[in-house]
Amino acid sequence: MQGNPAAATIKNVSRVFAVLTVPFTMSFPKAIFCYWITSNLFSLGYGLVLKVPGVKKALGVPEIPKQPVVTAPRPSIDLYTALKQAKTASQQSTSLPIEPTEVANQITSSSSRPSIRGLEI
């Protein structure tokens, strides 16, 4: 998450939404508000306790291996260019002549057969 600026942005937005949840949910029925607050506090405490290395070791939680640092910069994705490429690819695929396949020929020829009404008892 250190090398990904989008992850930091998402984390900050999530924090803002968490803080804004309290004033928005105060008008809800009190039972729902109390449930959400206690549930979120319990989850927060649980997550903080599990970050302690001694607790992880006591509970047998495996350690997450460290990812190697990538030194090569990733190419940036330009949304406009990607949409333009997708549009040209779809135009090229629709501009190709469509030839009927054997399956399509079998379907049309089977509909021209006489109906099964003559086989009914």
- The tens digit of pLDDT for each residue in 90-115 reads 887 665 555 555 555 555 555 555 55
Predicted local distance difference test score (pLDDT) of residue 119: 61
How would you classify residue 60: left for phi > 0, otherwise alpha for psi between -120 and 50, otherwise beta? left
Predicted local distance difference test score (pLDDT) of residue 80: 80
45 burial level (CB within 10 Å; 0-12, 13-18, 19+): exposed
For the chain (length 121 residues), average pLDDT per consecutive 10? 77 90 81 86 91 89 81 73 84 62 53 58 58
The Cα–Cα gap between 99 and 92 comes to 16
| Stated pTM of the model | 0.38
